[in-house]
Amino acid sequence: MTNELATDTTFADLGIAPELLAVLTEAGFETPFPIQAMTIPDGLAGVDVLGKAKTGSGKTLAFGLPIVEGLERAEPFHPRALVLVPTRELAMQVTRDLEPLVAARNFNLVTVYGGASMQAQIDALNAGVELIIATPGRLIDLMERRKARLDDISVVCLDEADQMADMGFMPQVRKIMAAVPDDHQTYLYSATLDSQVQELVNKYMTDPVSHEVESDTEYVDTMVHRFLKVHHLDKPKMAAEISRTADRTLMFTRTKWAADDLTKRLREIGINAAAIHGDLPQQKREQSLSRFREGKATVLVATNVAARGLHIEGVDIVLHYDPPDDPKTYLHRSGRTARAGEEGLVVTFVEWDQVNEVLGIQRRAGLNVAIIKMFSNDERVADLFSWQPPAELAPFKPGSQRKIRRRRGF
């Protein structure tokens, strides 16, 4: 195991083909991250790989490079490799990362998820695609129509497997895996590997080689955490003031209604905000993401649908406008910033009746950070990254959080 962000190894040392090395160089990837250096050789060797690393640490290339390296020409409706993901947003992100690599080898991929044109996906499969990146529901729809046949699949990746279990996709995953030949290679990558994924490991992996990037916490060292006790009526203005200190701020609410309401309030204050949640048509979701990526919207307000799979360069701040329900959700929301070595700020709003709830999340997540009362006109709001909450106000005794995390399996 390793706890370093970068390695002395190069992608060439790992055995990556020259045409893929050229794509990596063009994209600015010179040195592999630890999870990539650790797992790519095993992936290229054809063994099952079980990988864990902090969110934002490069898992997509860790499984994507060896998968693309091993692709073979596909017949119509018979893809050769499958990456299964829990959300549309993650499917789109994996596609953006892997599409240039697939093209460099003169192969094709198709992204399969609900809310997009099924006929376009069928047409792509009919033309012959080597790699299919899919969410479970739409893939099963295509399988039942015999437009996606998995009997030529030689490699499967279950990406964010714990999220698939959390979202209730286990029956769909079982149905999909039953259609895959027994002699396939399996990758399972996730930011967390807890008891929820044990069934997947036991049932679908054969003597997997396990790799984990060592860490005292689930969070990268460049991520700074602040917990602010706020008044309900001051929350929108406080959110606006925090967003003004950054180029891109990603805000999370618990409900779709709250996401729309906060977006409206921010716009009234003068903040260019966009919303993304499950009730929006896919086209509007993609438009919101595009505006945020291009800097046309400085704030993206999201429900948990966006907590996985979003990799947007330069997200400066993640704001938990509503506290998450559990430490795992906190982890995956927060992981949208401080990615791949960049610095990032994570701010959590805490109303007076949410203090005990948030303390429970802090204790289980190993975050011994004081909850500080603050209003939107406080001068400290202008630089929450540099401001340090008083250490003497930390809520827990040293070491107490680690005991709780071990006992509860987080």
In terms of domains, do 187 and 152 share one?
A: yes
Q: pLDDT by residue (tens digit) across 216-247?
A: 455 556 789 999 999 999 999 999 999 999 99
DSSP class of residue 361? H
Residues β-bridged to residue 190: 52
State how far the Cα of 41 lies from the Cα of 44, in Å rounded to an integer.
5
In terms of domains, do 150 and 204 share one?
A: yes
Residue 285's pLDDT band (boundaries 50, 70, 90)? confident
List, as one string, the DSSP characters of 156-224: EEEETHHHHHHTT-HHHHHHHHHTS-TT-EEEEEES---GGGHHHHHHH-SSPEEEE---SSSS-TTEE
In terms of domains, do 208 and 229 share one?
A: no
Percent of the chain with pLDDT over 90: 66
In terms of domains, do 97 and 118 share one?
A: yes
Residue 327 lies in a domain: yes
Residue 384 lies in a domain: yes
DSSP class of residue 397? -
Residue 38's pLDDT band (boundaries 50, 70, 90)? very high
Domain count, the chain: 2
The last residue of a domain, from among 187, 212, 237: 212
| pLDDT of 403 over the 70 cut | no
- What was the pLDDT predicted at 225? 95
In terms of domains, do 324 and 350 share one?
A: yes
**Regarding predicted confidence, which is higher, 304 or 122?**
122
In terms of domains, do 188 and 324 share one?
A: no
The H-or-E segment that residue 59 falls in is: helix 59-69
With 0.95 as the threshold, say if the pTM is over it.
Answer: no
The last residue of a domain, from among 181, 212, 243: 212
Q: Which of 22-26, 245-249, 305-309 shows the lowest per-residue confidence on average (mean pLDDT)? A: 305-309
- What was the pLDDT predicted at 407? 45
State how far the Cα of 124 lies from the Cα of 107, in Å rounded to an integer.
12
The last residue of a domain, from among 183, 212, 241: 212
- Whole-angstrom CA distances from 366 to 66, 163, 265, 387 are 34, 21, 33, 20
In terms of domains, do 175 and 302 share one?
A: no
Residues β-bridged to residue 225: 346
Taking residues 178-207, report their average pLDDT.
86
In terms of domains, do 192 and 115 share one?
A: yes
Domain boundaries, position 375:
223-392
* Cα distance from N-terminal residue to C-terminal residue, the chain: 19
- Whole-angstrom CA distances from 340 to 4, 53, 221 are 12, 12, 11
Structure tokens at 112: 């399969």
In terms of domains, do 68 and 25 share one?
A: yes
Report the CATH number that the domain containing residue 298 is assigned in CATH. Answer: 3.40.50.300
